[in-house]
Amino acid sequence: MFHKEGHKIIFISLVVVVISILLIDNTISTEWLRKLLMITIVALFILILQFFRNPKRYTLQDDHVIMAPVDGKVVVIEEVLEKEYFEEKRVQVSIFMSPLNVHVTRFPISGNVTYSKYHPGKYLVAWHPKASEENERTTVVVKNPKVGEVLYRQIAGALAKRIVNYAHLNSTVVQGADSGFIKFGSRVDVFLPLNAELKVSLNDKVKGGESVIAQLE
């Protein structure tokens, strides 16, 4: 199953692959070179298919837990001053996605969207300390009646050139449902209340919509 954000790219890529293979087959006479080029093109197409895959996730919805919004590796856990919305200290949990990870973004908690804003910006590497404030990004805040407001931020990286955000202001959202997509690698930051009980450690690998990153009472 492939994400809808990839349908157009997959179709165009398939056309390019077919045309390229036909051209190679009719213009390259050296057998080993012809096979190498064909294998390379097919391999690149398979990578594109893998990037846009959208596996079914089974979210055990719970208003007292914060789910990982994306697949990837936990690269930051620290107390920071969140300047855009809360203007107070929060616990930041950052998840880095490699090009091989699923890039669907999912709502970490159910509730109402109280803030949703896109920011144009730079394309620093995703692990750069200033990426959260200077890169192209989208900030979303979901207010849950049990645990309050949770902020997550989609951040573009050196390869990611388009962030897709489905979180519309004042809409009601469901934990684990699709909230967006980041094309070609990046990271997502989650900002939690200081009293959150963390369920992950640095370098842990998480699955969006299934891995619990924190619990709140």
Does residue 137 share a domain with residue 84? Answer: yes
pTM over 0.75: yes
Catalytic center residues: 186
Does residue 131 share a domain with residue 34? Answer: no
pLDDT digits (tens, 9 = 90+) for 19-34: 898 898 888 888 888 8
Does residue 70 share a domain with residue 165? Answer: yes
Work out the pLDDT band at 90, boundaries 50, 70, 90. Answer: very high
Does residue 129 share a domain with residue 166? Answer: yes
User: What CATH number is associated with residue 110?
Assistant: 2.70.70
Does residue 14 share a domain with residue 75? Answer: no
User: What three-state secondary structure class fits 210?
Assistant: coil
Residue 166 lies in a domain: yes
Does residue 83 share a domain with residue 184? Answer: yes
| Residue 173 exposed, middle or buried by CB count within 10 Å (0-12, 13-18, 19+) | buried
Does residue 97 share a domain with residue 199? Answer: yes
Which segments of 84-158 does DSSP mark as H helices, in order? 131-134
Residue 12 lies in a domain: yes
Residue 190's beta-bridge partner residues? 93, 152
**For position 172, what pLDDT does the model report?**
96
On the question of pLDDT at 70 being above 70, the answer is yes
- Six token digits for residue 165: 């955000």
**For position 190, what pLDDT does the model report?**
96
Q: What proportion of the chain, given as a percentage, has pLDDT over 90?
A: 51
**For position 182, what pLDDT does the model report?**
82
Work out the pLDDT band at 46, boundaries 50, 70, 90. Answer: confident
Residue 59 lies in a domain: no
Does residue 15 share a domain with residue 121? Answer: no
Domain residues for the domain of 22 are 4-51
Does residue 152 share a domain with residue 86? Answer: yes
Number of Cα atoms under 13 Å in the Cβ half of residue 132: 21
pLDDT digits (tens, 9 = 90+) for 205-215: 999 999 999 99
Residue 60 lies in a domain: no
Span 46-53, mean pLDDT? 80
**For position 25, what pLDDT does the model report?**
84
DSSP H or E run through 182: strand 178-183
Does residue 107 share a domain with residue 138? Answer: yes
Closest CA relative to residue 97, chosen from 54, 142, 155, 143: 155
CA pair distance 58, 112, nearest whole angstrom: 21
Q: Which residues contact 60 (CB under 8 A, 6 or more apart)?
A: none
Residue 56 lies in a domain: no
| Residue 174 exposed, middle or buried by CB count within 10 Å (0-12, 13-18, 19+) | middle
As for how many domains the chain has, the answer is 2
**For position 1, what pLDDT does the model report?**
77
Does residue 197 share a domain with residue 103? Answer: yes
Residue 102 lies in a domain: yes
On the question of pLDDT at 6 being above 70, the answer is no
pLDDT digits (tens, 9 = 90+) for 148-204: 999 999 988 665 557 889 999 999 999 999 999 887 668 899 999 999 999 999 999
pLDDT digits (tens, 9 = 90+) for 108-157: 999 999 999 998 866 666 555 565 666 788 999 999 999 999 999 998 86
